[in-house]
């Protein structure tokens, strides 16, 4: 009977997915950091397909759970499973040739694209554009570059920061198609031409005709300005007023294979962690809108600024999360915080990624009842995602509704047995199996279920569970044990394509690690974040369980917004102690 019910539920879920709206997906395909034309992009199992244009750009329509195949002669195929929130996919292709002999060209003043890509990390006069790398020293036209580290971090926004570095830049108000006004940048000033046009902006290959006020100054690596003449030659009449090119930190730094370091740095060839290695503390980049709100002297003034800024920044759910955190920390007014978060929930009621970030915040603040409501909403949006079952079951446990939690575990196992696509029980299946066993072992009496036998090797010690809200996020986790040896768990499409394929098929974004209970002392976990194919940050949640599986089990949740790329950050420090269970 249970199998029949589960089968009906599965059929309903599949029908729900067949009715999902079509996603319009766009992006840029690149090789060695510059656009790749004529890449074949098709939907697996169909004859539908397109090719990238001369600038590596493409646009295709697909449904959730379709598989996009990116293929090109001499390159490894890239397979991406479409999800409900998939809209932007910028793909980097990898050559099939594993190694090439090093070629040194002497006395060559002007390098090709591959040479510029290799030199990018150490030469700030090189910028990456949608048309490839350009070296200001050999551009053939007037081109100025600015090191992002030299921008004034206290500037109100990107325009104010640029005005202090570009003498010819003027800031003027222009009319918008909607009938309003907005600020615009003129590289030569309005008085220099009869019909002047404002400069356009290019950020990591994406064109913006409006000023990108959303961009955090701390995240800018380098800036270049192209005059109208040089710009129109590449970008057309749209760039008659010039182009301001911005490369964000870590976006185009090539890494030597097997490392996270630029090609010009020495590769670490053993797994002995060096204490002298410079690790940065993970500090979230402060957006410009927060700097304005921080200047407010009263909560009333802060909320007025928030209402004004909402018109510009409400297209990002993370704006609401950032502002609510600031209001909470500065004014401790929970009512106002909840008002802001409620606005976010209404606007992004159908965006599972945004809702997961919100749920993470609630969990970190031990607002388990609020988190439960959010996870129920996510489950309704994603009824076939394994992560939906795990998150909702876990939240039922934290709300002491153990029978509902166990029921979700049982329901998931039935669906997995009926699912002919994925029969192997690994990845999140191992996580759910462990948590189900732990639930019965610890709460068997309340559930009126005979406890399962759990061996000594399965209990005690420290368990760390990582979850991330964006399935496209790529990163490396580095675990350093008390003896200063480390191992790296990589979550990148290049290194772990089969793992990521499994995540997309089953629908999950998590992994857990059991710290060796026999290695006592200080453990460090560091992270190197590589991005998520979009501008939104990735919210990483880390749940640390101490004395896992014993009567002394306790946990803590920490949430980390990740945005800066290709930097090894300190994430967690854990003390693994010997405990005696009751």
What is the band of 350 on the pLDDT scale with cuts at 50, 70, 90? very high
Read off the pLDDT of residues 326-337 as tens digits, 9 standing for 90 and up: 999 999 999 999
Report the pLDDT averaged over residues 225-241.
Answer: 78
So what's the pLDDT on residue 339? Answer: 96
Q: Is the pLDDT of residue 50 over 60?
A: yes
CA separation (Å) from 146 to 123, 200, 387? 12, 17, 44
Indicate the class that CATH gives domain 113-248.
mainly beta
Query: Helix, strand or coil for residue 389?
Result: helix
CATH code that applies to domain 22-93: 2.60.40.1120
Higher pLDDT, 545 or 421: 545
Measured distance CA(576)–CA(522) in Å, rounded: 6
So what's the pLDDT on residue 460? Answer: 67
Give residues with Cβ within 8 angstroms of 297, minimum separation 6. Answer: none
So what's the pLDDT on residue 132? Answer: 78
Higher pLDDT, 179 or 251: 179
CB contact at 8 A, 376 and 392: yes
Higher pLDDT, 106 or 476: 476
Q: What is the pTM of this model?
A: 0.64
* Residue tagged 């979550």 (tokens): 491
Task: Please name which of 225, 34, 200, 224 lies closest in space to residue 131, comparing C-alpha atoms.
Answer: 34
Burial 407-422 (b: 16+ CB within 10 A, else e): ebbebbbbbbeeeeee
Read off the pLDDT of residues 432-441 as tens digits, 9 standing for 90 and up: 988 998 898 8
Q: Is the pLDDT of residue 348 over 90?
A: yes
Measured distance CA(315)–CA(55) in Å, rounded: 27
Nearest 5°: phi and psi at 151?
-75, 150
Q: Is the pLDDT of residue 189 over 60?
A: no
Beta bridge partners of 59: 26
CA separation (Å) from 327 to 292, 363, 428, 466? 13, 18, 36, 27
Percent of the chain with pLDDT over 90: 32
Domain ranges of the chain: 22-93, 113-248, 386-394+401-576
Beta bridge partners of 554: 546
Higher pLDDT, 70 or 3: 70
Give residues with Cβ within 8 angstroms of 194, minimum separation 6. Answer: none
Report the pLDDT averaged over residues 429-455.
Answer: 78
Higher pLDDT, 282 or 101: 282
Q: Is the pLDDT of residue 164 over 90?
A: no
Nearest 5°: phi and psi at 284?
-60, 140
So what's the pLDDT on residue 555? Answer: 93
Read off the pLDDT of residues 78-132 as tens digits, 9 standing for 90 and up: 888 898 888 888 888 877 644 433 433 333 344 667 677 777 777 888 888 877 7
So what's the pLDDT on residue 392? Answer: 96
Q: Is the pLDDT of residue 367 over 90?
A: yes
Q: Which range (112-116, 164-168, 287-291, 557-561) has the least confidence? A: 112-116
What is the band of 195 on the pLDDT scale with cuts at 50, 70, 90? low
So what's the pLDDT on residue 112? Answer: 67
DSSP string for 284-353:
----HHHHHHHT-SSHHHHHHHHHHHHHHHTT-HHHHHHHHHHHHHHH--HHHHHHHHHHHHHHTTT-HH
- Residue 503 has which token pair? 């995540």
What letter would DSSP give residue 122? Answer: T
Report the pLDDT averaged over residues 262-289.
Answer: 58
**What mean pLDDT, rounded, does the chain reach?**
81
CB contact at 8 A, 54 and 18: no
The neighbour count for residue 399, using CB atoms within 10 Å, is 14
So what's the pLDDT on residue 515? Answer: 82
So what's the pLDDT on residue 223? Answer: 92
The helix (run of H) or strand (run of E) holding residue 381 is: helix 368-381
Read off the pLDDT of residues 303-325 as tens digits, 9 standing for 90 and up: 999 999 998 899 999 999 999 99
So what's the pLDDT on residue 278? Answer: 55
So what's the pLDDT on residue 487? Answer: 82
So what's the pLDDT on residue 480? Answer: 87
Q: Is the pLDDT of residue 273 over 60?
A: yes
Read off the pLDDT of residues 490-547 as tens digits, 9 standing for 90 and up: 999 888 888 888 898 889 999 998 887 777 888 999 999 998 887 789 999 999 999 8
Report the pLDDT averaged over residues 246-257.
Answer: 67
What letter would DSSP give residue 75? Answer: B
DSSP string for 191-255:
GGSSS--PPEEEETTEEESS--TTS-GGGEEEEEEE-HHHHHHHH-GGGTT-EEEEEETTSS--B
- Residue 107 has which token pair? 């006395």
So what's the pLDDT on residue 204? Answer: 82
Measured distance CA(145)–CA(135) in Å, rounded: 10
């Amino acid at each position: 009977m249970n199998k029949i019910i589960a089968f009906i539920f599965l059929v309903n879920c599949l029908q729900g997915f067949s009715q999902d709206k079509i996603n319009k997906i766009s992006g840029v395909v690149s090789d060695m950091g510059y656009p790749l034309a004529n890449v074949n992009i098709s939907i697996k199992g169909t004859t539908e397909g397109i090719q990238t244009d001369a600038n590596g750009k493409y646009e295709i329509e697909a449904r959730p759970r379709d598989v996009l195949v990116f293929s090109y002669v001499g390159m490894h195929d890239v397979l991406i499973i479409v999800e409900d929130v998939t809209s932007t996919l910028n793909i980097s292709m990898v050559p099939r040739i594993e190694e090439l002999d090093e070629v040194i060209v002497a006395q060559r003043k002007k390098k090709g694209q591959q040479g510029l890509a290799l030199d990018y990390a150490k030469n700030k006069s090189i910028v990456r554009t949608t048309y490839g790398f350009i070296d200001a020293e050999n551009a053939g036209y007037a081109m100025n570059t600015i090191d992002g580290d030299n921008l004034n971090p206290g500037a109100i926004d990107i325009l104010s920061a640029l005005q202090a570095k570009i003498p010819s830049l003027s800031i003027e108000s222009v009319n918008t198609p909607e009938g309003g006004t907005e600020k615009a940048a003129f590289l030569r000033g309005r008085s220099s031409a009869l019909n002047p046009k404002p400069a356009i902006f290019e950020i990591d290959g994406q064109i913006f005709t409006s000023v990108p006020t959303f961009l955090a100054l701390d995240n800018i690596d380098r800036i270049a300005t192209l005059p109208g003449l040089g710009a129109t030659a590449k970008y057309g009449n749209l760039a008659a007023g010039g182009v301001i090119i911005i490369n964000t930190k870590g976006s185009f730094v090539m890494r030597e294979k097997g490392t996270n370091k630029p090609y010009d740095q020495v590769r670490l060839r053993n797994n002995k962690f060096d204490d002298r290695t410079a690790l940065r503390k993970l500090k979230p980049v402060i957006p410009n809108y927060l700097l304005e709100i921080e200047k407010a002297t009263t909560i009333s003034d802060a909320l007025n600024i928030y209402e004004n800024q909402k018109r510009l920044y409400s297209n990002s759910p993370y704006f609401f999360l950032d502002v609510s955190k600031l209001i909470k920390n500065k004014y401790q007014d929970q009512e106002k915080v909840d008002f802001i978060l409620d606005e976010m929930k209404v606007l992004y009621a159908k965006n599972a990624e945004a809702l997961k970030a919100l749920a993470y915040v609630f969990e970190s603040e031990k607002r388990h009842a609020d988190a439960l409501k959010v996870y129920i909403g996510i489950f309704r949006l994603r009824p076939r995602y394994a992560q939906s079952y795990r998150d909702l079951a876990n939240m039922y446990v934290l709300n002491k509704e153990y029978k509902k939690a166990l029921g979700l575990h049982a329901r998931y196992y039935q669906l997995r047995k009926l699912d002919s696509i994925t029969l192997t029980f690994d990845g999140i299946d191992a996580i759910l199996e462990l948590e189900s066993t732990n639930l019965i072992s610890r709460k068997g009496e309340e559930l009126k279920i005979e406890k399962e036998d759990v061996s000594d090797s399965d209990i005690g010690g420290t368990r760390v569970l990582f979850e991330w809200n964006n399935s496209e996020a790529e990163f490396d986790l580095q675990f350093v044990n008390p003896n200063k040896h480390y191992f790296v768990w990589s979550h990148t499409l290049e290194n772990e394509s089969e793992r990521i394929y499994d995540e997309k098929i089953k629908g999950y974004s998590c992994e857990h690690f059991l710290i060796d209970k026999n290695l006592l002392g200080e453990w460090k976990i560091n992270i190197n974040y590589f991005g998520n194919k979009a501008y939104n940050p990735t919210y990483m949640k880390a749940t640390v369980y101490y004395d896992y599986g014993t009567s002394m089990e306790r946990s803590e949740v920490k949430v980390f917004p990740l945005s800066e790329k290709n930097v090894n950050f300190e994430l967690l420090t854990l003390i693994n102690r010997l405990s005696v269970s009751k």
